[in-house]
Structure 1
Amino acid sequence: MEILVEGLGKKFGREWIFRGVDLSFSQGKKYAITGGNGSGKTTLVKTLAGVIPFTEGKLTYRYQSKSIPLEEIYKLLTITGPYTELIEEFTLTELLSFYRNFKPLVQDNHEIINILGFKKSANKLVRDFSSGMKQKLKLALALYNQDKVLILDEPTSNLDHQNIDWYLSHLNQPMNEKLIIICSNQPYEYDFCDEVITLEKYK
Structure 2
Amino acid sequence: MSNTLMKTIDDDEFSISVKNLTKSFKNQKVIENLNLNIHAKEIHGIIGRNGAEKTTLIESIVGFNEIDQGEIRLLNFDSSINREELMKHIGIQPQVANLLPRQTVNETIYLFSSFYKETMEPKEIMELLELTEISAKRVKDLSVGQKQRLLVALALIGNPSLIILDEPTTGIDPQIRQLIWNVLRGIRNEGCTIVLTTHYMEEAEKLCDRISILHDKKIIVSGTPKEIINTHRKKTSDSLEDVFLYLTGSNLRKEVD
Q: TM-score range by the shorter chain?
A: 0.7 to 0.9
Shifted more, 159-168 versus 185-194: the winner is 185-194
Paired residues in the alignment total 200
Shifted more, 26-35 versus 165-174: the winner is 165-174
Q: Which amino acid aligns with 1:167?
A: I
Q: 1:15 to 1:153 in 2, by over 3 A?
A: same
Structure 1 counterpart of 2:165, from 152, 156, 167 = 152
- The ranges of structure 1 where at least 4 consecutive aligned residues each deviate by more than 4 angstroms after the TM superposition are none
Distance, in Å, in 1 between the alignment partners of 2:105 and 2:26 is: 40
Give RMSD over aligned pairs: 2.1
Q: Which amino acid aligns with 1:143?
A: L
User: 1:172 aligns to what SS in structure 2?
Assistant: helix
Distance, in Å, in 1 between the alignment partners of 2:132 and 2:211 is: 37
- Percent identical pairs in the alignment equals 26
- Residues 16 and 37, structure 2, Cα contact 8 Å, conserved in 1: yes
Distance, in Å, in 1 between the alignment partners of 2:70 and 2:151 is: 31
Gaps of 5+ in 2: 1-8, 10-14, 219-257
Alignment of 1:55-134 (within 5 A): 55-63=68-76, 67=78, 69-72=81-84, 73-103=86-116, 104-107=118-121, 109-134=122-147
- Residues 129 and 180, structure 2, Cα contact 8 Å, conserved in 1: no
Deviations 1:45-95 (A, max 9, x none): 1111111111111112344xx555253232221221322232222112211
Q: Which amino acid aligns with 1:71?
A: R
Q: Which amino acid aligns with 2:145?
A: G
Q: Which amino acid aligns with 2:120?
A: V
Larger Cα-atom Rg: 2
TM-score where L is the length of structure 1: 0.87
Distance, in Å, in 2 between the alignment partners of 1:171 and 1:110 is: 18
Deviations 1:21-45 (A, max 9, x none): 1122232122111111221111001
Q: 1:172 to 1:116 in 2, by over 3 A?
A: closer
Distance, in Å, in 2 between the alignment partners of 1:195 and 1:90 is: 37
- Residues 129 and 183, structure 2, Cα contact 8 Å, conserved in 1: no
Q: 1:67 to 1:81 in 2, by over 3 A?
A: closer
1:8 and 2:21 correspond:
yes
Distance, in Å, in 2 between the alignment partners of 1:118 and 1:3 is: 31
Distance, in Å, in 1 between the alignment partners of 2:113 and 2:134 is: 19
User: Which of 1 and 2 has higher RCO (CA within 8 Å, sep 6+)?
Assistant: 1
- Residues 152 and 182, structure 1, Cα contact 8 Å, conserved in 2: yes
Distance, in Å, in 2 between the alignment partners of 1:42 and 1:101 is: 27
